[in-house]
Amino acid sequence: MLKTESRSQALFFVSVATFFSLSVWFSTNAISGALEVEKSIDESSMALLTIAVQLGFVFGTLLIAITNLSDLVNARTLFAVSAVLAAAANILVIPIESTPLLIATRFVTGACLGGVYPPAMKIISGWYTKGRGFALGTMVGALTIGSGSPHLLRSVFSENWQAVIVGSSLLAIVGALILKILVTDGPYEVNGAKFNPRYLIGALTQRAPRLALTGYLGHQWELYAMWAWIGSYLLYVVGDKSLIGESLDLASALTFLVFAVGAVASSYAGAWSEKIGRTAVTSIAMIISGGIAAFIGFLPPEMTVLIVVLAMIWGASVIADSAQFSTAMTELSDPAYRGTMLTFQTGIGFALTAVSIWLLPIVKDSSGWGWAFAMLALGPVVGTVAMLRLRSLPEALNLAAGKR
């Protein structure tokens, strides 16, 4: 049986598994129009479906972090079991008609994904020391495509929303099998952590991990609200058009491209972080993404080409820095509790995303897309200040082999 024998093979298989498994994340966003018709779900309830996934993810990650489960249980096993459970919860969207039950189902899906994303980062960290920023950037790129894949499925199966749900669940199961069967633990994997709930408190009293967390929070304020609503915005801009006859929905295809360019940018940003430093790459990315967020929504829809181009640049910059916050946390933390710190950082970050995802449609309805997106720019401002402050600390020399 084929097994990983090199770190490049491990990176490939983990990235593919992550890409497949994260396809259930935005499955209901991609079919929001169909759900509004088929299950009588209004826009506010659609926002709750997305928020439920975020809060479920927070619950799952914090439970795993508090119990140190990600360092007590093999990460490959945790990933595989969690991905299968997420797929099972996702498929329940088809038969369930009650909106409260749908929200509960999406919460469970998010909770299960809490055992997918952070363990994947830990697995990659076990294969890389040098080049870890590039490796995690590539893996997050796979996560980005996976998150956007329901929009591609929706674009292809424009008349069959159930196929989007079934397809994303099947992809998650395949991802679980790939990771469990084809990936082995890396040579830098650290085992033997004991349950220690006080470790988190102690770690976060240190300046460097605290600033890395603050930077990540600023990044997360913008990222998932943008991902959750960019499809609706592009539909508003380009309208209900098709690329080929009555198939291949244009807005869905463009939305997928926003995710796709982000995946490429994430990998390239990882490579650049090894050359110019983590704090530099994260600051540059947040300045670009925050700048676009501040004004793109104010542009008139008639400027369609410019808006689409800016949306692609936004899609690239908004995710380019994501993996570097996680990489920084692995370099600033005790290796024995690497999984715990990654899981905690991710959980707190996703808790914040629920707020911005909830606020954005409220601001949009009252003041328009311009102010709704401009609100997201506040996160990159805070995040950039935190990362530049981290860059000035002696502890920053632990980042990117001293390049900070």
Q: Which CATH class is domain 7-183+196-399?
A: mainly alpha
pLDDT 10s digit of each residue in the chain, 404 long? 455 557 788 888 888 898 888 888 777 766 767 777 777 777 677 778 878 888 898 888 778 777 766 667 788 889 999 999 999 999 998 888 888 898 899 999 999 998 887 788 778 877 877 777 777 777 777 777 776 666 666 666 556 778 888 888 998 999 999 988 888 877 766 554 555 556 656 666 778 888 888 999 999 999 989 988 888 898 888 876 665 555 567 777 888 889 888 888 888 887 788 888 888 889 999 999 999 999 999 999 889 899 999 999 999 999 888 888 878 887 877 666 666 777 778 778 878 888 898 899 889 989 999 999 999 999 999 999 998 998 888 876 767 666 66
Mark residue 40 as left, alpha or beta (left: phi above 0; alpha: psi -120 to 50; beta: remaining). Answer: left
Whole-number Å distance between alpha carbons of 156 and 404: 43
Contact between 340 and 210 (Cβ < 8 Å): no
Q: Is the four-CA dihedral 313, 392, 210, 143 of positive or negative sign?
A: positive
Q: Which two tokens stand for residue 387?
A: 């990362």
Q: What is the reported pTM?
A: 0.73
Q: Does residue 75 sit in helix, strand or coil?
A: helix
Query: Which residues are CB-contacts of 77 (< 8 A; sequence separation ≥ 6)?
Result: 180
Domain boundaries in the chain? Answer: 7-183+196-399
Measured CA distances, 95 to 92, 100, 166, 291 (Å): 6, 13, 12, 42
Q: Which residue shows structure tokens 């997305």?
A: 50
